[in-house]
Structure 1
Amino acid sequence: MSKRAVLEVIALDAEDAVAAQAGGADRLELVTDMAADGLTPAATTVAAIRAAVDIPVRVMLRLADGFAAGDASRLVAAAGEMREAGAEEFVLGFLDADGGVDLGAVERVAGALEGCRWTFHRAIDRAADRGALRKQLADFPGLDTYLTAGAAAGVDAGLPTLLAEAERRGEPGYEQQLLVGGGLRLEHVPVLLEAGIDGFHIGGAARPGGWDGPVSAEAVGEWRRVLGG
């Protein structure tokens, strides 16, 4: 590996953020309400985490469970509120009823970010056509990462897709970093690293006590060791 793999850890609060950084996380994904797979957090939480750690933080822009955008104007307002609280990087992704990318919503929300870097999240794993989605978003300002398990069911099912997409790195629509997450386990890591994948995203794996417990610096540290660096 020519460069250290990125380890991104889900944080719900400042305590999580401090533990994740102590364990060697490179970046945080900040959300609330994991029962709904992660929604936009409170602005106060963004500000608290920005004060507590100095690693990058990507803040979720998602107002309800599922992958429909809902009211795009509310998302734009949330983006503004998060930026005022100190957020500089984001996570978003919206699909229409047919499983295609909701370009209108993505354009409005990404436009409100004014060039901030952002991840298109696991909505890609529910898309009717992953390749078409990537082509449509190929030149979107700020989009530098896809968070994906390769399949809706998780990395076990998605591994062949992840390896195939890694081989296409650099082609139009495939320039963004692959950030693998969703049922990711330590035993997946060697084959992903071998394929040149250099982004890894963990949530429950960083919490030995489950989602009701905090991030464990030791658990994050184990991932950091396996990933190298």
Structure 2
Amino acid sequence: MSSRAVLEVIALDAEDAVAAQAGGADRLELVADMAADGLTPPVDTFAAIRAAVDIPLRVMLRLADGFAAGDTDRLAEAARRMRGAGADEFVLGFLDPHGGVDLNAVKLLVGELDGCAWTFHRAIDRAADRDALRKQLDGLPGLDTYLTAGAAAGVDDGLSTLLTETARSGESGYEPRIMVGGGLRLDHLPGLLAAGIDAFHIGGAARPTGWQGPVSAEAVSQWRTALDTTP
């Protein structure tokens, strides 16, 4: 079994996906509309990306900016459409108005996913009680990853939380892998890797010209090399 750290890259289209894979990405997160922090992409975009690359793809299930589920019937329909098109990994996460997990919305979608692997995304960084959220989601089918910076403002603010949660790996609610993303920089990697974190997520860091420009294979390769060569 390889000990290689997982590198996930945000892709908006097939061009991004091809560049990310060429640079050494292990997995893609597929989204649309980064101005709204990433929404569910069109099915035809998923199909084009799926045809262009052979690495795993996780599709965002989110209809509007913010962390409220909104119209759960539309969310469920989006999940069914993506499943029908062949999607088999997903990203989701919803909070109620008080900062607790919206368990009804999450469970509804998990039911639609029918055992598919999924990530609970950075909604955890806005949660009123991270530990309570993890305990409530514990045991849901397919939940294998938390995408988190440890804090709403990003990794700089969340480092201590990331290290604390990593140290609890294996406890109830702490079995899913921690994937670090959100203000992540190359200089964060040595400390995170040394703590045992083995999954990393980049978006803007893969796009030297900003979100209006494409993913750069060279930028992704820089991260791949750093992950593979850091002691």
Q: TM range, normalised to the smaller chain?
A: over 0.9
Amino acid at match of 1:17: A
Q: Distance in 1 between matches of 2:11 and 2:40?
A: 12
Counterpart residue number, 2:50: 50
Alpha-carbon shift at residue 94 of structure 1 (Å)? 0.3
Question: Which amino acid in 2 is paired with 1:137?
Answer: L
Gaps of at least 5 residues in structure 1 are none
- The equivalent residue for 1:14 is 14
In the alignment, residue 9 of structure 2 is paired with which amino acid? V
Indicate the residue corresponding to 1:24 in structure 2: 24
Say if 2:192 is the partner of 1:207.
no
- 2:84 & 2:220 partners in 1: Cα distance? 29
Does the residue aligned with 2:28 lie in a helix, a strand or coil?
strand
Q: Percent identity?
A: 77
Q: Quick one: distance in 2 between partners of 1:46 and 1:85? A: 8
Deviates more, 1:77-86 or 1:181-190: 77-86
Give the alignment's Cα RMSD to 1 decimal: 1.0
Q: Distance in 2 between matches of 1:184 and 1:18?
A: 22
Does residue 139 (structure 1) correspond to residue 139 (structure 2)? The answer is yes
Instruction: Report the CA distance between 1:85 and its aligned residue.
Output: 1.7
- SS of structure 1 residue aligned to 2:69: coil
Note the C-alpha offset of 1:19: 0.2
User: What is the match of residue 39 of structure 1?
Assistant: 39
Distance 2:172 2:190 in 1: 27
Q: Which amino acid aligns with 1:28?
A: L
- 1:7-26 Cα offsets, whole Å, 9 max, x none, are 00000000000000000000
Q: Secondary structure at the match of 1:45?
A: helix
- Supply the AA of the counterpart residue of 2:140: F
1:122 paired residue number: 122
Corresponding residue SS for 1:228? helix
Report Cα offsets for 1:140-185 as digits up to 9, x if no partner: 1000000000000000000000000010011110000000000000
Q: What are the ranges of 5 or more consecutive residues in structure 2 without an aligned counterpart?
A: none
Partner of 2:175: 175
**Which amino acid in 1 is paired with 2:45?**
T
> CA offset at residue 228 of structure 1?
0.5
The separation in 2 between residues aligned to 1:46 and 1:193, in whole angstroms, is 31
Runs of 4+, deviation exceeding 3 Å: none
